[in-house]
Structure 1
Amino acid sequence: MEATITLSLAWIRSVGNTQELVFASDSRLRAGQAWDVAPKIFTLPRSDALISFAGATDYAYPLVVQMSQAIGFFPASRDRRNDISVAKGIALKVFNEMRENIHDLPRGQMTAGDPGVRFIFGGYQWRQKRFRIWELHYDASIDRFTFRPVQPWHGGNSGRVLAMIGDATDEARDRLVELLRSRGKLPGNGFDMEPFEVLRDMIRDRSHPAIGGAPQLGKVYSYMRSQLFAVAWPDATGVPHALGRAALGFERFDLPLLDPDAPHLHSRHAAAASDDDEEFVTTELADEPYEDD
């Protein structure tokens, strides 16, 4: 299985006076078949950033694994003494060095060409005390991976920062605008969990064969901690899914559990009680903005 398209998003969420960075993705790989259990959001050895991808998995997985290891091998980055902009630079250096090592190309092909994969990299930039998002992508004009900062939405709305990569991004953006308009949030300022709701609905309506499986969700907080979430799927009564994979009968994901139809809420409890009524395993997120009523 070499290729897939996806819908991957990252945005700055505003909750009162608090902000957090949210990543969301579908879970489908598709290359002549569908496989709905693929991790597309990745934690890193440093806890203040996440990365996700859209595109060819034969490129994406090796690149993400090696850049993650490179951060882990570099104490100043692993310990967050260096800002995430340094980690972004490490990612690009690793991506380009790995691509230069492709060899034994088909006869007549001089370069490896477009790898057909894009990444969203983001986290909390402690030097500037703000969240940052970058798109990492291949640029044919320089035959290298490079980066593009994600800018606020047009019209001067500095509170709305959103990255979208993958399949049907134009439709996803149109749906998002319509959802915000229906709730009286235009012009307004900032996002809550509306981008997740758009992703959820596009998975459910099955209008795009490349987008499917349970939604994946991760967050980065301003206290420089990242957190993955389990998502009950296909609704609140469903089995918890983590990074697209359903919990096995004996598993209790040590993750907060998200209701896909009330994504602004989440339980501190990781899973349902066990057969002998053990206490729920809980993940305490003391400073995280949440609602539990």
Structure 2
Amino acid sequence: MTLTMAWVRKVGGVEEMVIASDSRLRSLGAWDAAPKIIPLPRGDVAIAFAGETDYAYPMMIQVANSISFYHGALTRRQPLAKLKGHLIRVINLMLDQLKDVPVDLKEAPAAFFLLAGYDWTAGEFRIWKLHFDKGIGRFTFAPTRGWGGEGNGDKVLSIIGDEVGEAREVVLEYLRRQGQIRAGGLDMEPMMALAHMVDSERYPSIGGHIQVAKVYKSMQCVPFAVRRNGARSLLGRPLLDYEESQTIPTLDLDY
């Protein structure tokens, strides 16, 4: 499985969307080079997954294709909220094409997605969790809202994958240490929690290189190279020594 997070980072008067994940797949052992975040072609949004790759990878690729070849989606004439509906329809249409599944293997798809970006019509960052609803037998969505409580409406965080409850508790612990449990938005506390769980042997399904993308109010989705433990990676893959780029920013997580 995996651990994937998206949150609105607020530092001073600056806001940005951060999407982060580990890079581990377990089907062939611990394979620590899997891309789990895909910046979508229109530039203001990314999609990330957790769960069964048999479902997730084909669906994510076709979601990206559907934007590339649909002018309204590609040019952002279709607002983010309506794009979300389009992508749900694409995913469910794909689900309808699945045939000849052995009865003993026919279960509800254990695939979850985060759609995270900037909605220019509302002037705000939005996160939706896309998931399979057994009651209707289709994929549907749920919006992510603030945590609630005093001062916590500004804390917008969505987590999918393994150990979601534990991940939330680790985030809370980092907030407590900084005295930020009651007021204000999130900074990099979710990233610190993700790094902690990637490094811990308690979570064998979570590991490998941390991958990160950010969405800005300028409606740009930017993948980041990540420097951690002396190594550099991009979207889950270690970079070769000669892979230097002036166009890809680097996030240093060696803190």
Q: For 2:148, give the aligned amino acid.
A: H
Q: Which residue of 2 aligns with 1:160?
A: 155
Is structure 2 residue 220 aligned with structure 1 residue 261?
A: no
Alignment-mate amino acid for residue 242 of structure 2: F
2:77 to 78, 81, 106: 81
Residue 250 of structure 1 and its aligned partner are, at CA, apart by: 2.1
Q: Distance in 1 between matches of 2:254 and 2:228?
A: 10
Residue in 1 aligned with 2:38? 42
- Indicate the residue corresponding to 2:206 in structure 1: 211
1:246 aligns with 2:241: no
Q: CA deviation at 1:108?
A: 7.6
Task: Give 1:90's aligned amino acid.
Answer: H
Superposed counterparts of 1:24-63, under 5 Å = 24-63=20-59
SS of residue matched to 1:176 = helix
**More helix as a share of residues:** 2
Mapped to 1, the partners of 2:165 and 2:254 lie a distance apart of 23
Task: Give the Cα–Cα distance (whole angstroms) in 2 for the partners of residues 224 and 113 of structure 1.
Answer: 38
Label 1:169 to 1:107 Cα distance change in 2 as closer, same or farther (>3 A).
Answer: closer
Q: Deviation digits for residues 56-111 of structure 1, max 9, x if unmatched?
A: 001101000001111111111101111111221121011100111111121588xx
Q: Which residue of 2 aligns with 1:122?
A: 116
Check the 8 A contact 2:227/2:254 in 1, yes or no: no
CA offset digits 1:27-73 (Å, max 9, x no partner): 00012511000000101111000110000001101000001111111
Cα distance in 2, alignment partners of residues 186 and 98 from structure 1: 42
TM-score, normalized by length of structure 2? Answer: 0.96
2:172 aligns with one of 158, 174, 177: 177
Runs of 4+ aligned structure 1 residues displaced above 2 Å come to none
Contact 1:77 1:86 survives alignment (8 Å): no
Q: Is the 8 A contact 1:71 1:90 kept in 2?
A: no
Q: Secondary structure at the match of 1:145?
A: strand
Q: 1:250-291 CA deviation, whole Å, 9 max, x = no partner?
A: 2114411111134xxxxxxxxxxxxxxxxxxxxxxxxxxxxx
Distance, in Å, in 1 between the alignment partners of 2:179 and 2:231 is: 33
Question: 5+ unaligned residues in a row in structure 1: which ranges?
Answer: 263-293
Opposite residue 34 of structure 2, the aligned amino acid is: A
- Residue in structure 1 matched with residue 226 of structure 2 by the alignment: 231
Structure 2 residue runs without a partner (length 5+)? none
CA RMSD of aligned residues (A): 1.3
Change (3 A) 1:239 1:221: same
Report the counterpart of residue 144 of structure 1 in structure 2.
Answer: 138
* 1:20 aligned residue (10, 13, 16): 16
Distance 1:105 1:48 in 2: 36
Amino acid in structure 2 at the alignment position of 1:252: E
What does 1:263-278 align with in structure 2 at a 5 Å threshold?
Answer: none
